[in-house]
Structure 1
Amino acid sequence: MEEDYDIIVVGSGPNGLAAAIKLQSEGLQVLLIEGKETIGGGMRTAELTLPGFRHDICSAVHPTALASPFMASLPLHRHGLRYIWPEIDCAHPFDDGSAAHLERSVRRSAASLGQDTKAYCDIYTDLASYWCDIAPDVLGPLTFPSCPRNMLKFGMRALQPATWFARHFRTRAGKGLWAGMAAHSLQPLSNYATSAIGLVLTASGHDGGWPVPEGGSQAIADAMGSLFTSMGGTVHTGYYVRSLEELPHARAVLLDVTPRQLLDIAGDRLSAFYRWQLKRYRYGMGVFKIDWALDEPIPFKAEACRRAGTVHLGNTLEEIVHSEKQAAQGKLAGNPFVLLTQPSIIDHKRSPEGKHTAWAYCHVPHGSVADRTEAIENQVERFAPGFKDVILARNTMNTIAMQDYNPNYVGGDINGGVIDIGQLFTRPAWRRSPYRTSAKGVYLCSSSTPPGGGVHGMCGYHAAVRVLKDLGHPRR
């Protein structure tokens, strides 16, 4: 790595790759450095259980990849990426064997909610009508929006606690489906702004759906890496950067890391006030994850669940609210809210013929080492009697294993820090640009900057745009 580059990007998650692609496309010479032997960050796929069973180690389903203006602009299909859509994007079963569900059609989704059909149609038909106009602003830093009226309308809903927004619905089905969406926020649902993620995920479902990449999430990383190198970019894997002093000279360095790693890598170059801000940055609850090799599909009682790529297991709004509150308070819920995906029902490259894979996690206290295998499998069995009988093998990862796999998952927090009202607009610190650090030429491009976690690449894209402006580079 002795050659000089215009730009160095450290970390090859979706944001590091997005930043590298954007900067390389502007005619700058970019070096992308990855600590592991393969690129991808949270977008990796491996045989974690048995030979022939391919499991997504972290991200699995990708609604925000399609919602992302930057990702959607890339010709990744020319580099081998193919998305596959399940018949039903997400299902939410109840104890009586019924299920609410999300699919591309607002009307068909609403039809699963009984008396809440009209309320659901009113909310999401309206949101769908202007979602494409506000998505670039929603998936970016705090700026004056391009569509102020529609952004204000969205913001008035998004800033509400999810428990408040649930009042739009009267039925168990409507409230339960909403709670499952909002619980992706990894916060107590009584927190302000927990409605934001629920609205984004549902709107994305109605706009582009919740697809899976054929063969696994590694396909997204491989396609982005292939695009980057085809443009003349350089990738160096197997090198873990511990200090800026290890890097060759460059006009700018972008770090796809969270504040904790930023302090380790660049601490001596950062101002005392900025270091103080970074030390106060808050990480949230973690996850406990299981991957299963299965002898047959999961035998869900609800027929909609058997056709869904994603299944939310939490029963009622009240039960999900309790589960998330317990985890945030450092406790373990008896019936945790479980997010489950079953990609092999549509992607036959994930498992041997006739066999299946599935993936699930629940939220746990930050840094918890508790084994939640039994609790998660009991929740699946609750809605799919006989599930435990079809398990061939499993692989589990607690919060420590998640952090060991990816240092950005501090304490098992897969969002790069809490995205609550206190850090929604100030990730990771109060600054005119959240992507600039206090050190000249050093930038942050991780999920610890706006808009936060997810495979959308928008943190990296906006950081790259900031770099181009600061360098005075004429954008193409």
Structure 2
Amino acid sequence: MRTEAGRRVVNDPDVAIVGTGPNGLAAAVTMARSGLRVALYEQDEDIGGGLRTKALFDDDVPHDICAAVHPMAGASPFFRAFDLAARGVELRQPEIGYAHPLDHGRAALAHRDLAETCAGLGPDGAAWRRLMRPLLEHSAGVVDLVLSDQRALPRDRRAASVLARRALVHGSRAGARGFRTEEAAALLTGVAAHAVGRLPSLASGVVALLLGHLAHGSGWPLVRGGSVRIAEALAADIRAHGGVLHTGRRIDDLRELGSPRAVLLDVGPRAFARLARGRLPAGYARSLARFRYGPGAAKADFLVSEPIPWANPAVGRAGTVHLGGTRAQMWRQETLTSRGVATDEPFVLVVDPAAVDPSRARPGRRPVWAYAHVPNGDPTDPLERVRARIERYAPGFTDTILMQRGISARDYERYNPNYVGGDIGSGAMTLVQSVLRPTPRLDPYRTPIPGVYLCSASTPPGPGVHGMAGYLAARSALRREFGVRTPGSLAPR
């Protein structure tokens, strides 16, 4: 998607935003809806950050370059208010949110329907119901708690209690006693691996419960036509309210932005230090330098001739597939990866988008999207390891491949500087850093430079296409720089 590169702005805007990932765009929507003149700057020729969609091998077959599945887009407070559906963005729900195949054709399936999921888990069905039903009953409170700025007491104390008690169990080895079968244990652990770090951990326990229960609630949808449709809807709203987007414009110094009253940066700590050019107090600069990054993601894209031939055909109905083996294997693998040890059997996430969105496929051609978790900065092309992982659970997959492309974790950082070492979460998801990212300040978005705010996934609530870091940073800037305590409505007009 192209935007108006090079358009001249006569006067400095009220707000300048660097970076057009989902958080930068959400910040711009919030500011523009509050009556401010907004300008955005993107170094790439295309906006969207992690929401980009491109034709990699065939002009008729779109591939999501980063995010492909969006459990947060249907659940976050920002997108609930923004109302993607009313703007023509169709979130297509898979019949099975996620699946976890095991050897010998076995598989655990997280159906949208909780009762159907429990029935498929046999002797662990009752345990899965006890785990998930209270979270579903308090889902709005759980989501609002996790997707907050992590600086205030929860408004829904009951939801906080429900989440905390379960996270303490399933974020530790005590969770191993919760299920009797490999299928149920693997089903939950595969979701915990979305934390991309050591397993088990309290942070991974929260991630597993948040994403796990959403599969039975608002779902794990894919966007019809590709993830870029979300970025396009945000950009359209920004333009409708007078905002201007400059693409192909790299910012190397904050002074290049002129004199806006507020600057919001959808960048990570390292990029912020570069932009600040020595203007940061020594203590704050040291705190930013201590910010830790997690394992990397290596990307594999395939153009294939037919649906993935899973040994268990039901897996083909899932929107997301986790390939990691048993719980014990995933605990070992993810912990080794977090320590910088590469192995031949990484945890892999696979999406066959056309299984949920048939518009992505053409006769004899369809995309397959995959991530492998690897050590930070790993330079290895992931194609062979990812292909082998898929082949293990889908014999014959290799024979369907028409074209393929791999991006190492090291090269992913070149694609997006926020992904340091390939860390697509823009910071390690440890419990302490999840709460105190990027530095331990009362307002995590405000920086020591007057009028300058951070709004990337390196700030709370962290990674995911939810827009909340941008929205919360914008609200902070509105209060402090413009005296606006109630932002303009985000609803379509």
Same fold, TM exceeding 0.5?
Answer: yes
Q: Does structure 1 residue 409 correspond to structure 2 residue 419?
A: yes
Matched residues, number: 476
Corresponding residue for 1:271? 281
Corresponding residue for 1:288? 298
Corresponding residue for 1:136? 144
Corresponding residue for 2:462? 452
Corresponding residue for 2:57? 49
Alignment of 1:216-227 (within 5 A): 216-227=226-237
Q: Percent identity?
A: 42
Corresponding residue for 2:253? 243
Task: Report the Cα distance in structure 2 between the residues aligned to 1:425 and 1:22, rounded to whole angstroms.
Answer: 24
Task: Report the Cα distance in structure 2 between the residues aligned to 1:199 and 1:321, rounded to whole angstroms.
Answer: 17
Q: Does structure 1 residue 172 correspond to structure 2 residue 190?
A: no
Q: Which amino acid aligns with 2:418?
A: N
Task: Report the Cα distance in structure 2 between the residues aligned to 1:309 and 1:367, rounded to whole angstroms.
Answer: 28
Q: Does structure 1 residue 311 correspond to structure 2 residue 321?
A: yes
Alignment of 1:24-423 (within 5 A): 24-142=32-150, 143-159=152-168, 161-423=171-433
Aligned-pair Cα RMSD in Å: 1.4
Deviating more after overlay: 58-67 vs 73-82:
73-82
- Measured after TM superposition, the shift of residue 433 of structure 1 is 0.6
Corresponding residue for 2:474? 464
- Measured after TM superposition, the shift of residue 2 of structure 1 is 4.4
| 1:437 aligned counterpart, secondary structure | coil
Q: Which amino acid aligns with 1:40?
A: G
Q: Is the 8 A contact 1:79 1:227 kept in 2?
A: no
- Measured after TM superposition, the shift of residue 53 of structure 1 is 2.2
- Name which of 477, 484, 493 aligns with 1:473: 484
Q: Which amino acid aligns with 2:155?
A: S
Give the direction of change, closer, same or farther, for the CA distance of 1:163–1:355 in structure 2 (3 Å limit). farther
Deviating more after overlay: 421-430 vs 1-10:
1-10
Task: Report the Cα distance in structure 2 between the residues aligned to 1:390 and 1:45, rounded to whole angstroms.
Answer: 22
| 2:202 aligned counterpart, secondary structure | coil
- Measured after TM superposition, the shift of residue 20 of structure 1 is 0.6
Deviating more after overlay: 425-434 vs 76-85:
76-85
Q: Is the 8 A contact 1:103 1:209 kept in 2?
A: no
Q: Is the 8 A contact 1:162 1:179 kept in 2?
A: no
Q: Is the 8 A contact 1:254 1:443 kept in 2?
A: yes
Q: Structure 2: which 5+ residue stretches go unaligned?
A: 1-8, 489-493
- Measured after TM superposition, the shift of residue 141 of structure 1 is 1.4
- Measured after TM superposition, the shift of residue 266 of structure 1 is 1.2
Task: Report the Cα distance in structure 2 between the residues aligned to 1:336 and 1:425, rounded to whole angstroms.
Answer: 28
Q: Structure 1: which 5+ residue stretches go unaligned?
A: none
Q: Which amino acid aligns with 1:246?
A: E
- Measured after TM superposition, the shift of residue 107 of structure 1 is 1.2
Q: Is the 8 A contact 1:134 1:146 kept in 2?
A: no
TM-score normalised by the chain length of structure 1 = 0.97
Task: Report the Cα distance in structure 2 between the residues aligned to 1:153 and 1:60, rounded to whole angstroms.
Answer: 29
Q: Is the 8 A contact 1:215 1:350 kept in 2?
A: yes
Q: Is the 8 A contact 2:190 2:330 kept in 1?
A: yes
| 1:42 aligned counterpart, secondary structure | helix
1:433-453 CA deviation, whole Å, 9 max, x = no partner? Answer: 100111110000000011100
Task: Report the Cα distance in structure 2 between the residues aligned to 1:381 and 1:266, rounded to whole angstroms.
Answer: 48
- Measured after TM superposition, the shift of residue 357 of structure 1 is 1.1
- Measured after TM superposition, the shift of residue 83 of structure 1 is 1.5
TM-score normalised by the chain length of structure 2 = 0.94
Task: Report the Cα distance in structure 1 between the residues aligned to 2:383 and 2:420, rounded to whole angstroms.
Answer: 21
| 2:310 aligned counterpart, secondary structure | coil
- Measured after TM superposition, the shift of residue 346 of structure 1 is 2.6
Task: Report the Cα distance in structure 1 between the residues aligned to 2:419 and 2:120, rounded to whole angstroms.
Answer: 36
Q: Which amino acid aligns with 1:473?
A: V
Q: Which amino acid aligns with 1:83?
A: L
